[in-house]
Amino acid sequence: MNNKLDINLIRNDFPILKEVINGKQLVYLDNAATTQKPQLVLDALTGYYEHYNANIHRGIHQLAEKATAAFEESRLRLQKFINAPSAEEVILTYGTTDGINLVAQTYGRSFIKEGDEIIISTMEHHSNIVPWQMLCEEKGCVLRVIPINDQGELLMDEFEKLLSERTKFVSVVHVSNALGTINPVKEIISKAHAVGAKVLLDGAQASSHLHLDVQDLDCDFYTLSLHKIYGPTGMGILYGKRALLDAMPPYRGGGEMIKEVTFAKTTYNELPYKFEAGTPNIADVVAAKYALDYVDLLGKENIASHENDLLEYATAALKEIDGLRIIGEAKEKVSVVSFVMNGIHHQDIGVILDQHGIAVRTGHHCTQPLMNRFNITGTTRASFAVYNTIEEVDLLIKGLHKVKKMLG
Ligand code: PMP
């Protein structure tokens, strides 16, 4: 077990963990959907509204200056978090979904044409499928899909067979939300680049577990959502290489993204503002910095090591349950464990666990094609974060035994 972190002390940083659900202490195991927020993030949110709520970039009064400074400081913090070469390459978005749509609607509509091919994978979240399908419908380009094996790993030789001079774009998930698989993204990127294709990584799940370095990865685009990393909902980033972002047209039109507007013609602002029309989610952007500071304080390696302990313990204990099958047993995994139980519907499992105060995710996890690949309609998914404990895993296992007794 990891002894560098005092988990009980960490739990005190998260007020929500004291909630009582159905008369039971909350056991929150739905972290892949969203993580809980530590007190310093909550304080940053209310602190902004209480002390310096103002619109950014345009005001000259003190509150506006303070809000602008905090907003731009957060951008710098996010730049450091992913090791982007410059802050101008870090676009503030509403989250991963927004980032992918931005790329599909700007880069895609400008540079991908009829007959071109876009490669995604079987394990994509709907947010990395539908924007590309919409583009294909509009432009007449073709979607290709990398298959996976029964363990939930990409078939890399099949990926290589899909690559050709027609491949213009590859958009894959760094870490699967439904299976926990960590994909070999560096290899994907170098192979895609070898045929001249650009690569976007969906980092929604990777960001809270893995060290991120977009320069080392050499990806063309990277998107993530802060609410998966102990930060606020409704904000995220899109990293893009400068030359690509410069060549792309703006996404949404409005205030902030312009240089000059006349009725005859509008010229656009520089990076990153060209892609940031309208008043952004200022409070959430400001608070994001504190979430990343918190992660740094604990140390990402320490967090990952604790989560891996929980994953190993949970996987072994789940395998002891008769009639339970784990979906997703990749060699490289984060702390997400999905499973099905013989003859018991995942929704019933979720409802019974909830009666015991245990929050898990049930359903297709926005990955319906992946569920089809496994011939299932959904799974029950437990996903662990830094504040989870072995005792909570034990409560999950105990809860599943109760499920079996009632419905098995
Ligand atoms: N991709 C993956 C792998 C995800 O897990 C999620 C969130 N469930 C998303 C994309 C979408 O993220 P958001 O809803 O924050 O835009």
- Does 43-296 match 7-30+299-407 at the fold level? no
Closest CA to ligand 1's atom 12: 96
CATH number for the domain running over 7-30+299-407: 3.90.1150.10
Ligand 1: which of 366, 381, 383 to mutate, most ligand atoms within 8 Å of CB? 366
Mean pLDDT within 330-335: 98
Q: What is the DSSP letter of 190?
A: H
Strand, helix or coil at 316? helix
The crossing angle, in degrees rounded to 10, of helices 390-407 and 300-319 is 30
Nearest CA to ligand 1 atom 14: 97
Domain ranges of the chain: 7-30+299-407, 43-296
30: Cβ below 6 Å to ligand 1?
Answer: no
Residue 365 alpha carbon, nearest atom of ligand 1: 8
Please name the amino acid found at residue 354. D
Nearest 5°: CA angle at 232, between 230 and 233? Answer: 115
Does residue 221 register a pLDDT over 80?
yes
Q: What is the mean pLDDT of the chain?
A: 97
Whether this model's pTM surpasses 0.85: yes
To the query of whether residue 136 is one of the catalytic residues in this protein, the response is no
Q: 378 vs 21, 86, 124, 154, 400, CA distance in Å? A: 24, 41, 15, 20, 17
pLDDT at 4: 87
Among 136, 141, 219, 366, the active-site one is 366
pLDDT tens for 225-234 read: 999 999 999 9
| Count of beta carbons in the 10 Å neighbourhood of residue 225 | 28
- Ligand 1 pocket member 204 (CB < 6 A): yes
How far apart (Å, rounded) are the C-alpha atoms in residues 99 and 299? 27
To test the pocket of ligand 1, the residue of 35, 92, 93, 97 to mutate (highest count of ligand atoms within 8 Å of its CB) is 97
- From atom 4 of ligand 1, which residue's Cα is the shortest distance away? 204
pLDDT digits (tens, 9 = 90+) for 67-84: 999 999 999 999 999 999
Q: The tokens 């990865």 sit on which residue?
A: 217
Average pLDDT for 188-205: 98
CATH topology of domain 43-296: Aspartate Aminotransferase; domain 2 (3.40.640)
Written in H, E and C, the secondary structure of 87-146 is HHHEEEECCHHHHHHHHHHHHHHHHCCCCCEEEEECCCCHHHCHHHHHHHHHHCCEEEEE
Average pLDDT over residues 241-266: 95
Tell whether the model's pLDDT for residue 125 goes beyond 80.
yes
